[in-house]
Structure 1
């Protein structure tokens, strides 16, 4: 199950992510177990993360983003080029999302 957000919440999170640097890079081997563990650690501590994929294929990047969101119960915020933005609220959220 993936997290669902309103368009206004996604817009807010895109703005928050604008100045972030990618914290995890998905290499040529794809979404390995080590990469997924690093994604899990990063999203737990940051809530909102940028991920860089080295895949040249857009369909592959789309499936990587879908798998990340499904596995971590997170929300896909944006996919521009090789950058994927993913959000999952922490137990004690740092970001306060707009209500609607």
Structure 2
């Protein structure tokens, strides 16, 4: 579980990254989940963009993706979602203490 201080730290880091995956009119499909899963193997923090024709709100999509990917939904704002899943070994992002 991530604390509010850690969440704020991760939100600050996410400001500089570009979206790695786009969710389109098909919504959250297995191929989208597989694509995000592959990205999360190399990155701990990713940004996802929902296209206007996806028919989903960012909060809906963020909670579904976080559940399916065993990740934390850090931020859902506008059409962007930020997900975090720390590496078990050799983490790249060191979270602040609680």
Q: State TM-score, norm by structure 1.
A: 0.89
| In 2, Cα distance between equivalents of 1:21 and 1:51 | 8
Higher relative contact order structure (alpha carbons within 8 Å, sequence separation ≥ 6) = 1
1:18 to 15, 19, 35: 15
Moved more, 49-58 or 8-17: 49-58
Do the aligned residues in 2 keep the contact of 1:49 with 1:86 (CA within 8 Å)?
Answer: yes
Residue equivalent to 1:37: 34
Any runs of at least 4 consecutive aligned residues in structure 1 with deviations exceeding 2 A, and if so which? 55-61
Question: What is the Cα deviation at residue 55 of structure 1?
Answer: 4.0
Residue equivalent to 1:76: 73
Do the aligned residues in 2 keep the contact of 1:55 with 1:61 (CA within 8 Å)?
Answer: no
| In 2, Cα distance between equivalents of 1:46 and 1:73 | 14
Supply the RMSD in Å over aligned alpha carbons.
Answer: 1.7
Q: State TM-score, norm by structure 2.
A: 0.91
5+ residue gaps, structure 2, are none
SS of the counterpart of 2:47? strand
Question: What is the Cα deviation at residue 57 of structure 1?
Answer: 7.9
1:19 and 1:51, CA in 2 relative to 1: closer, same or farther beyond 3 A?
same
Residue equivalent to 1:62: 59
